[in-house]
Amino acid sequence: MMNIPIGDTTIACHVEYSRRGKVSIQMESNGLLTVKTPNGTTEADIIRLVQRHSQWIAEQQQRLANRRVLPETREYDDYGTFMLLGKEQPLQQLIDVTDGDEEELRARLKRYYFTTCKRVIQERIVPYQQQLRVKPASIEIVESTTRWGSCSSTKKLTFNYRLAMAPVEVIDYVIVHELCHLLHMNHDRSFWRKVGSLMPDYKEKEQYLAHYGRYMTL
């Protein structure tokens, strides 16, 4: 995740590197700018690219602003899209939509996010546990409207299933945050130093959740 200055403001930009030969830029429906670029592209090149498209970005932001700020209802049909690991995906690519009413499809999608979140957390948490030399007593995926993660006094970690909608680097931040609580239960200076030692740009991840978290809904 990069925060790129455009005029007097900054815009959050999700960057995806791959073997692709061309650079593409797109604005997701939640306002997140995504740049897909070949491996080896420098941050300076990405910044210049985004700044060159500043007028187009402003137009897309205005278009989104003219629409409803938050979706009043989700579309559980062929036109519905939902976020998965920071990328917008058609509903039919996430779950089977051939049968069931909206309530059933919503329940099916929620189960999919629970399963995906559990798998991603279990995969991503291992190297951070090794770096911090900690091990939680248990890990649970839960539904919450107030927290992305938590750590109990008994070393039980919980993670909000909606994290499956966030970019992987944001999920990593929540993992690091909760693992660091196994060493420092409070949000004191020592805690934030430990978080920063593994993730120096953690504030950008916090800003992502603060700004885009409201869009990560069913």
**pLDDT for 23 beyond 60:** yes
pLDDT digits (tens, 9 = 90+) for 75-123: 777 778 889 998 888 898 999 888 888 889 999 999 999 999 999 999 9
CA distance 180 to 183: 5
* Predicted local confidence at residue 41, as pLDDT: 87
The winner for highest mean pLDDT among 78-92, 114-128, 134-148, 200-214 is 114-128
* Predicted local confidence at residue 118, as pLDDT: 97
pLDDT digits (tens, 9 = 90+) for 100-111: 888 899 999 999
* Predicted local confidence at residue 73, as pLDDT: 57
Please state, in angstroms and as integers, the Cα–Cα distance from residue 189 to each residue in 184, 192, 202, following that order.
10, 5, 14
CA distance 2 to 82: 22
How does DSSP classify residue 139? E
Better-predicted residue by pLDDT, 107 or 211: 107
Counting Cα atoms < 13 Å in the Cβ hemisphere of 23 gives: 15
